[in-house]
Amino acid sequence: MDLKAQEVAELINGVVEGDNNSTINKLSKIENGDNNSLSFLGNPKYNEYLYKSTASIVIVNKSLELREPVKPTLIRVEDANLAFSTLLEHFNNQQVSKQGIDNESSISINVKVGKNIYFGKYSIAENNVLIGNNVKIYSHVHISENVKIGDNCVIYPGVKLYRNTVIGKNCIIHSGTVIGSDGFGFNKDDKGNNLKVIHNGNVVIEDNVEIGSNCSIDRATIGSTILKSGVKIDNLVQIAHNVVVGNNTCIAAQVGVAGSTIIGDDCLIGGQVGISGHLKIGDRVQMQAKSGVLKNIEDDSVIMGYPAFNYRDYNKSYVHFKNFPKIMNFINRLMKKENE
């Protein structure tokens, strides 16, 4: 798809500086942009690349001051990072504009399907499924009975949606993710055998949620496991039964959240964080990577370590930990002197 500079500027509310007729048909990084590509400069660390770039168009901040002439046509905007994200979405929408139901898919007779949907090869929708308008369901997706999928969702190949799952509008679920599988719960009988706890709840995913590839979201024992509006989840994340994740919270890869924990709004959870069960995590909490969370956390906390505690206190403690061999040598010398 070819776009001229003026057309790009209209999409991102920018101002062209250079040739209005410069044309692009692909996106590129500022380090290696070539002819007919569009790039962006959102980080001052990369300013040097602008003066070497052969890209046709580069998006820059209005505040950028040039120290010498540049070859590309510039489009000046308030926020180059945000503008480029808008363009990424525009290009992506052009690529996922498929429609129609593949002849080798299987849709039960009582499934209700909206307008302009795409239903890929070998995908299955079982009884009483409801699929909204403009939904894209790729190949090898299995949708069990009573699942509801809202408008404008994209579900990539290999996703499995267990029974009674509810998905809101404008959601994206990436390949290999399983939503609604059994929670991990067992009770011991009088002989010490593990007896499975039956999970009769479901998973509710609200609007504008994105879930990465190969995640597992377990259904509730009773009630619902809930991902609230705007939640963003990276790849390889485990959300256990009856967990609630608050609005606009972001969770990085390899995080595990144990059952019945409630996470507040606008939290940032770093990679490989482990969160114990039955906890209450406040709003706007930041958890640094690899932290182990074993107790309730108050609003606006920044934590790190295992067990996790205040981020600044952790850094101060780590200085002492690093120097511990030297400290012990000093103590040993004092003890030896004292003994003498």
4-29 pLDDT tens trace = 999 999 999 999 999 988 999 888 88
Decide if 335 is inside a domain. Answer: no
Decide if 322 is inside a domain. Answer: no
pLDDT of residue 74: 95
Decide if 89 is inside a domain. Answer: yes
> CA-CA distance, 198 to 289, in Å (whole number)?
33
Q: Which of 95, 111, 136 is the last residue of a domain?
A: 95
Report the domain count for the chain.
Answer: 2
Judged by DSSP in three states, 287 sits in strand
Which domain CATH number covers 165? 2.160.10.10
Structure tokens, 268: 């940032």
Both 75 and 139 in one domain: the answer is: no
> CA-CA distance, 259 to 264, in Å (whole number)?
15
Both 210 and 81 in one domain: the answer is: no
Both 84 and 35 in one domain: the answer is: yes
User: What confidence tens digit (pLDDT) does each residue in 151-184 have?
Assistant: 999 999 999 999 999 999 999 999 999 999 999 9
Decide if 339 is inside a domain. Answer: no
pLDDT of residue 97: 66
User: Given CA atoms 125, 129, 133, 137 in this order, what sign does their dihedral have?
Assistant: negative
Radius of gyration of the chain (CA): 26
Both 165 and 310 in one domain: the answer is: yes
Both 88 and 110 in one domain: the answer is: no
Decide if 323 is inside a domain. Answer: no
Both 128 and 247 in one domain: the answer is: yes
Of 100, 164, 158, nearest in space to 149 by CA: 164
**Cβ burial, residue 6 (10 Å; 0-12/13-18/19+):** middle
Question: What are the residues whose beta carbons fall under 8 Å from the beta carbon of 165, sequence distance 6 or more?
Answer: 144, 147, 148, 179, 180, 202, 203, 204, 205, 219
| Residues involved in catalysis | 241
pLDDT of residue 91: 77
Both 84 and 134 in one domain: the answer is: no
Which domain, by its residues, includes 76? Answer: 3-95
Both 46 and 77 in one domain: the answer is: yes
> CA-CA distance, 124 to 155, in Å (whole number)?
12
Which domain CATH number covers 77? 3.40.1390.10
Q: Is 248:229 a contact under the CB 8 Å cutoff? A: yes
Decide if 217 is inside a domain. Answer: yes
Both 111 and 194 in one domain: the answer is: yes
Question: What are the residues whose beta carbons fall under 8 Å from the beta carbon of 158, sequence distance 6 or more?
Answer: 139, 140, 141, 175, 176
- Phi, psi angle pair for 26, to nearest 5°: -160, 170
pLDDT of residue 315: 84
Both 51 and 111 in one domain: the answer is: no
Q: Write down the residue that tokens 């990085």 correspond to.
A: 252
Decide if 325 is inside a domain. Answer: no
Both 113 and 50 in one domain: the answer is: no
Both 228 and 190 in one domain: the answer is: yes
- List of the chain residues with pLDDT < 50: none
pLDDT of residue 338: 80
Decide if 26 is inside a domain. Answer: yes
Q: Is 158:141 a contact under the CB 8 Å cutoff? A: yes
